Amino acid sequence: MSILIEGGRIVTGSDDYEADVYIEDETVSMIGESLDIGADRVIDARGRYVLPGCIDPHTHFDMPFGGTITADDFESGQTSCAFGGTTCHIDFANQVRGHSFAEGIETWHGKANGKALIDYGFHIIVVDIEEGGSLEELATLPDLGVTSYKMLLAYKNVLQVDDETLFKVFRLATETGALAMIHGENGDVIDVLVKEAVDQGNLEPRWHAKTRPAELEGEATNRAIQIAHVAGCPLYVVHVTCEESVDAIARARAKGWPVWGETCTQYFFIDDTYLDRPDFEGAKAVFSPPVRDKRNQPILWEAVRSDKLSAISTDHCSFRMSDQKTLGRDNFALIPNGAPGVEDRLLMIHHFGVNEGRINLNRMVELLSTNAAKLFGLYPRKGTIAPGSDADIVIFDPEREHTISARTHHTKADYNLYEGTTVLGAPEVVMVRGNILVEDGELVAEPGVGRFIERARFGQELKPARGRS
């Protein structure tokens, strides 16, 4: 179906102007003033922003963790994405220790097949390069469109890798054109602190943060940056929470090293006092790295404004309070780590970032779409509005008032970290490749619209349309 979007204010990472957008064959065909062209559907966007669809480079759908499985599968998770203006995400496919990387990728394809509403890609989580996977096999993943390798320096005996593995994978990423990613926390020290807290009977949710101090995030982040530098490897640091990690990334970037960092929506708004809420409510904010002292929040805003940090993701990893978070009611170490968030990211960052003057609209688009597209091999097919790009578009009403609540959100999580927050500005129409997903608060598409996107290697551009339905 051809669509003509008339009179909207087009905002990309670099531009801000009023024009019409003509969409044909799932791509942006023309942009211009007062386009005189017939279309199957005409949308009046006067008084609205026309934004590139948001890209979330960090989600966990249908993922086993802590004796349970995340509440959101690909259908419910991507539905929540769509209502929040996110039209593409990159999920983490887990390698299981003793098994191959290909098994992990195929398992995640199976989770998504037939359920996709938006476009998606995969990162691979590297756990084992000795007994299951191998460096030789890992080197083949970019040929499958999986062009990023993530390693965790935390979760000892589960997901954590040692420095030898870290270095070997960094060197391989440099050779294969993959972007290396790390979760920066010192898992060895955390393991000691957690065991001590449990042995001493300190079992409440607040101890999740107390046993994972900011210094251990900063140390692990800096260690990974230095090892990556020796390996000559570009590095992306996920979910940065604190001054210690921001400083390590900023030092590297000031030296011209290829290092980028992301933070997540929740770290701007939720601080460690949330964990003290009575009746186990603090468990809602148990995720890793943990929420920090409130003093870090203005540091994070300054970091995304000044490009010390380059992206805002969600780390959406949802669990129900009713029957999943309660696995750790008597021991914080058993609380499944994670929280929902994909539906709220654009709403919260627009209202508290743009409306309150912390960042401008162009920077918002960079942080929520364009930078992720460039770093993860999706640009210029995604992350911008330009002739030839996928018609992933959000028509956003900056005057629409919306109150965030678990009663109305679309994730299967039974709580919302921002419950009762009223924001000004919300998506009105959301489309992926010209297919309208959400319109005036209603889902108007069915699963199957979304596609797996084979991403380009790091530093290369994604050519039009090659994907797996």
CA distances from 8 to 25, 40, 210, 383, 435 (A): 21, 18, 48, 18, 18
Helical residues (DSSP H) of 232-360, grouped into ranges: 243-254, 265-269, 296-306, 345-349
Tokens of 423: 């924001």
Tokens of 83: 């209502």
pLDDT tens per residue, range 177-231: 999 999 999 999 999 999 999 999 999 999 999 999 999 999 999 999 999 999 9
Q: Does residue 468 surpass a pLDDT of 80?
A: no
pLDDT score, position 464: 74
pLDDT tens per residue, range 48-87: 999 999 999 999 999 999 889 999 999 999 999 999 999 9
pLDDT score, position 132: 86
Measured between alpha carbons, how far is 357 from 78 in angstroms, rounded to an integer?
30
Measured between alpha carbons, how far is 118 from 79 in angstroms, rounded to an integer?
8
pLDDT score, position 66: 83
CB-CB contact of 353 with 345 (8 Å): no
pLDDT tens per residue, range 235-249: 999 999 999 999 999
Residues 395, 400, 404, 408, CA torsion sign: negative
Counting Cα atoms < 13 Å in the Cβ hemisphere of 98 gives 1
pLDDT tens per residue, range 407-454: 999 999 999 999 999 999 999 999 999 999 999 999 999 999 999 999
Measured between alpha carbons, how far is 428 from 220 in angstroms, rounded to an integer?
41
Cross-strand bridge partners of residue 41: 3
**DSSP state at residue 19:** E
Helix, strand, coil % over all residues of the chain, rounded to 5: 30, 25, 45
Three-class secondary structure of residue 437 per DSSP: strand
Residues 220, 221, 226, 227, CA torsion sign: positive
Q: Give the predicted TM-score (pTM) of the model.
A: 0.97
Q: Does residue 465 surpass a pLDDT of 70?
A: no
Domains in the chain with CATH codes:
53-375 (3.20.20.140)
Q: How many helical (H) and strand (E) elements, i.e. helices and strands, does the chain have?
A: 13, 21
Q: Does residue 469 surpass a pLDDT of 50?
A: no
DSSP character string of 129-141:
TTTT--HHHHTTG
